[in-house]
Amino acid sequence: MSTKALFSILCTSLCMDVSMAQSGQNAPPAKSIAIDTVDHFDAHLTLRAHYDGSTVRLRWAPDAPSGWLNANVQGYHVERLDLGLEGDSAAVANAAFIALAPTALKPLDIPGWRALHDQLPTDNYVMVAGEMIHEALQPENMGLKNGDFLGSSNTFQERMGFALLSADMSWPAAKGSALGTEDPAVVMGHGYLYRVWCAANPAVVRMDTAYVVLSTAKAQEIPRPIITEVLERDHTIVLNWPRSAHEKIYTAYDIERSDDGGKTFFKVNKQPYIHFTNPDLPPRKD
C-alpha cells in the first residue's frame, strides 16, 4: 500500500462550545443571572452548544455518578436568556431566563426506551443508554450490596460512563437520556446565554449550574480533524493526530480511505474508533 492513498477522518462529536468572545460579541452580564455561590459541589455539569444556521443544539453531562443518578430522577431544567443584537445594551438589561420546556427534562421511562428502540432498531447506543439508566435506578441496585462500597461505586461509575458515551455517539440516545435538546426558536444575529441545572436535594447531592454563551451571527462549523503524520510500514499505514488538539471536540472517529485520488472513499473501521485513556498512567501528548 502506498502513502499516496488518501485518508480522511470523520468524527462523531459533542457539540462545540462556542462563546461570544470567539464570534466577536461581548455582552455584559444580565441582571437576572444568578451565579452559584456554594464553595463545594458533589457534581459538576458541563454544557456545550452548536448553532447550525437555524437551530441551537445543546448537550450537557454531569461528571459524577451521584449527580447523574439524582438528575435522572429529578430531571434537568434548561433555560435561555436572549441577549439581543450585538451592542444592544437595553436588551441585556431587560433580559430574563425562560424555560425551554414546561417541566424538567427526564430520561425516557422503560416503555419510552422500548418505543425508541423500535423506531431505531440499528441504533445500539439507544439500547445501551436506556439499560444503563434504568439498571442503575432499580431499587436493588441503589443500595450497597453486602457493604461493598468500592464495588458499588465502581458499578455506578461504569454505568454512567457507558450511558454518557452512548449519548455522545447517538443524538436520539442523548435526547432520550435527557442530556440534549434543541432550540429552534432563535433569531439569527442574536446572542444567547443558556443554563442547565438540576433541582436535586442539596442534602443529598450538590450540583452546580452550567452556562454557555452563543452567537447566532452565523452557522458554526466543527473543525476537521488534522492528521499530522502518516507512517508507511510493512503492509501497514499508521496515522497520527494530536490528542490535545482533538480531545475536547471529538468523542470518536471514522477512518476512511481512498484508492482513486480522493474521488471515492470507503470506511476502514467497522466500529467508531475511540481512543481511551487510563488516568492511572502518565499522560501522553500525542
Q: What pLDDT does 122 receive?
A: 93
pTM attached to this predicted model: 0.74
Q: Of 182, 205, 204, nearest to 194 (Cα)?
A: 182
- Least reliable range by pLDDT among 60-74, 121-135, 207-221, 250-264: 250-264
The Cβ of residue 82 has, within 10 Å, a number of other Cβ atoms equal to 21
Tell me what percent of the residues of the chain surpass a pLDDT of 90.
45
Q: What pLDDT does 82 receive?
A: 94
CA distance 274 to 148: 31
- Least reliable range by pLDDT among 33-37, 235-239, 243-247: 33-37
More confident residue, 132 or 18: 132
Which one of 40-44, 144-148, 171-175 scores highest in mean pLDDT?
171-175
Q: Dihedral angle at the C-alpha atoms of 163, 164, 168, 174, nearest 10 degrees? A: 70
The grid coordinates of residue 82 equal 436572549
Q: Of 13, 6, 11, 12, nearest to 266 (Cα)?
A: 6
CA distance 173 to 126: 5
- Least reliable range by pLDDT among 13-22, 231-240, 251-260: 13-22
User: Does residue 38 have a pLDDT over 60?
Assistant: no
Q: What pLDDT does 145 receive?
A: 56
Q: What pLDDT does 39 receive?
A: 58
Q: What is the mean pLDDT of the chain?
A: 79
CA 160 to chain centre: 13
Structure confidence at residue 41 as a pLDDT band (50, 70, 90) = confident
End-to-end C-alpha distance for the chain, whole angstroms:
25
- Least reliable range by pLDDT among 20-24, 64-68, 151-155, 212-216: 20-24
Asked if 191 contacts 214 with a C-beta cutoff of 8 angstroms, the reply is yes
User: Does residue 182 have a pLDDT over 60?
Assistant: yes
Q: What is the dihedral sign for C-alpha 255, 260, 263, 266? A: negative
Average pLDDT over residues 15-42: 45
- Least reliable range by pLDDT among 37-46, 106-115, 164-173: 37-46
